Structure 1
Amino acid sequence: MGRFKVLIANPLVPRIANELLSQTCDVVTASSYDRASILKDLKATNGIDGLFWATKNLVDKEILDAAGPKLKVVSTMSAGYDQIVTEELKARGIKLSNTPGLVNDSVADIAMLLALTASKRFTEGRRHIEQGTWINYFNSHWMLGQDIRGSTIGIIGLGGIGQTIAKRLIGFDVAKILYTGNREKAEGKKIGAEFVNLDKLTKESDFIFLAAPLTNDTHHMCNTDFFGKMKKTGILVNVSRGLLVDQQALIKALKEGQIFAAGLDVMYPEPLNTDSELLNLPNVVLTPHLGSATKNTRDAMAELTARNILRALAGEELLTPVEL
């Protein structure tokens, strides 16, 4: 029996992925992570057994057709898998794996960064420094922000990332933590969080953290109605997916003072258009989807993605399977 063939659909993934896979497989690395290049490289392979996915492009019928009928597994180097058309994989009997858990600490850290900088008016303050409009520190009414201490926290999606955010917030002496999702969780009780419906969370929270996956139910869940229910002093932090938020509704809410501020690591589209109104708003803090962007985290993600492929090709149980 010949060696299996695997395509890594991004030339920039950590080297450990290639090192692991090449021990027992013939590895082809795509020339670029753009869709056209991946399709071209897939077709040139004359069929692959495993697909290492590390791009926001969709794995859909076109990609799977190009991969060929031998494809046994798609392993995505991400916790979320909304970029995978799971119905197509299920219909073809192709396994799917992801990298949950590994990103929890790194994403929770950036969630805290965004919450703190948005609440302390970081963007606006930086502009005052740059424009020479810094007012005397002892002016008691200038640049007042919001406190996390004593606040009510709302977390939408108490999965691994949501739980890690909650644990960090406990150290800030928050008053209480509310969460919502598909069901009440034992993990919520362990950290003293209260399970509530979305309406109650939206109305009562001082800070709202989005840590839910992108699904049909969560798409644009933060819309005009949502922002109308938030406190005027409320702060939104999104570290999940940009499409959970109706971006135009958010921009309107920020411009009109319906909410105090927002901190966004994810937006739509990505990369964000350079003429986006978000870039001009003083009450927004933006980071370019850096949630998992540490060397240790990315190396661990690449290794797990590769190991899942190797296990699938060996007929073994996946380490982190996605149920299709």
Structure 2
Amino acid sequence: MTKKPYVFITRKVPDETLAPLKEIAEIHSWTEEEIPVPRETLLEEAKKADGLFTMLSDKIDTKLLDHAPNLKVVANLAVGYDNIDIAAATEKGVVVCNTPDVLTDTTADLTFALLMATARRIVEAADYVKEGKWQNWAPLLMAGSDIHHKTIGIVGMGRIGSAVAKRATGFDMNILYYNRSRNETAEKQLGAKYVSFHTLLEQSDYIVCLAPLTKETENLFTSEVFHKMKRSAIFINASRGAVVDETALQRALEEGVISGAGLDVFKEEPISSEHPLLRLKNVVALPHIGSSSMETRKEMCELVSRNIANVLCGKKPETVVEA
């Protein structure tokens, strides 16, 4: 009897999403839902794995790849893949997959919700009521900033950026964007205007970062960048924490250089309750839940399972990351 290929899953995922893998592989999973698999365990599992079902928190580097002689595929439960050394994997003939498309609308929903919550002080106002501070009505009680008819500047006009721009049209917003290349579809269909990074910073009321983490975008948002924004500007980050100098952002918020920030991601995750940005009332912080809806996470897991199964069966996976 032919031995089945071995697949290691680095986090607990819905069992029903693993059907494509169960048919063709022996599966072993890390059983914790919120605690990442220890590095030592991942290295040991990689030694015997034909396939790895991974998360952004799992570092797939040269050391791991050098000790994984049977590895054929690494499939990430994310659009991003900055946790994987793509060049090293390609050199060793390991296919790398991700989960684009299926999470676009869900992440765009969360991004725009984060923008709205920050602008209208939703979290702060809800806490105000829960803490028993609401004693009377006042004209400027918890007054925030309008969203309609304002200018949104989107840094990173890919699938998610375009979906956020589509939502902005419902608020009659002026849409600016900065990207590595022109997105003519967004320009024609959504009325988005391609501008320089400098122009976007100067003119936008809301700066929304949806750019991937690359050498060019790492620490893109510095003190100098925040000082180019309007004092009334609100910064939203739903991409990667490392695109922001968090110390510079903290100072900008404390000193009134910008008005507020909505953050779904941080440089080092998870953050503790002692993180300096959490002391600021003009910050809305979320635990990296951009694509976290039941429907989307299920669809993402199913796509990862199909990608691994396809590679192990000698078929072409649905979503391959090119080197």
Per the TM superposition, whether the score is higher than 0.5 is yes
Deviations 1:29-55 (A, max 9, x none): 235532335336516xx5221111125
Q: 1:207 maps to which residue?
A: 206
Give the C-alpha shift of residue 312 in structure 1.
Answer: 1.1
Give the C-alpha shift of residue 17 in structure 1.
Answer: 3.8
For residues 141 and 290 of structure 2, what CA distance do their matches in structure 1 show?
31
Q: 1:64 maps to which residue?
A: 65
For residues 295 and 127 of structure 1, what CA distance do their matches in structure 2 show?
26
Give the C-alpha shift of residue 134 in structure 1.
Answer: 3.7
Q: Percent identity?
A: 36
Q: 2:185 maps to which residue?
A: 187
Contact 2:155-2:177 at 8 Å conserved across structures: yes
Amino acid at match of 1:167: K
Amino acid at match of 2:95: K
**Runs of at least 5 residues in structure 2 that lack an aligned partner in the other structure:** none
**Runs of at least 5 residues in structure 1 that lack an aligned partner in the other structure:** none
For residues 204 and 147 of structure 2, what CA distance do their matches in structure 1 show?
11
Give the C-alpha shift of residue 22 in structure 1.
Answer: 1.3
Q: 1:262 maps to which residue?
A: 261
Cα RMSD of the aligned pairs, angstroms, is: 1.8
Contact 1:240-1:266 at 8 Å conserved across structures: yes
For residues 148 and 119 of structure 1, what CA distance do their matches in structure 2 show?
7
For residues 43 and 98 of structure 2, what CA distance do their matches in structure 1 show?
24
For residues 222 and 96 of structure 1, what CA distance do their matches in structure 2 show?
29
Q: 2:52 maps to which residue?
A: 51
For residues 128 and 317 of structure 1, what CA distance do their matches in structure 2 show?
54
Contact 2:18-2:301 at 8 Å conserved across structures: no
Q: 2:8 maps to which residue?
A: 7
Q: 1:81 maps to which residue?
A: 81
Q: 2:295 maps to which residue?
A: 296
TM-score calculated relative to the size of structure 1: 0.93
C-alpha change, 1:41 and 1:295, in structure 2 (3 Å) is: farther
For residues 267 and 218 of structure 1, what CA distance do their matches in structure 2 show?
14
Q: 1:117 maps to which residue?
A: 117
Deviations 1:153-185 (A, max 9, x none): 1001111111111111111111x1001111101
Contact 1:16-1:302 at 8 Å conserved across structures: no
TM-score calculated relative to the size of structure 2: 0.93
Q: Does 1:38 align with 2:41?
A: yes
C-alpha change, 1:148 and 1:318, in structure 2 (3 Å) is: same
1:9-24 correspondence to structure 2 within 5 Å: 9-10=10-11, 12-24=12-24
Segments of 4+ moved more than 4 angstroms: 130-133
For residues 146 and 56 of structure 2, what CA distance do their matches in structure 1 show?
37
Contact 2:60-2:83 at 8 Å conserved across structures: yes
Contact 1:123-1:283 at 8 Å conserved across structures: no
Give the C-alpha shift of residue 133 in structure 1.
Answer: 4.3
Contact 1:210-1:239 at 8 Å conserved across structures: yes
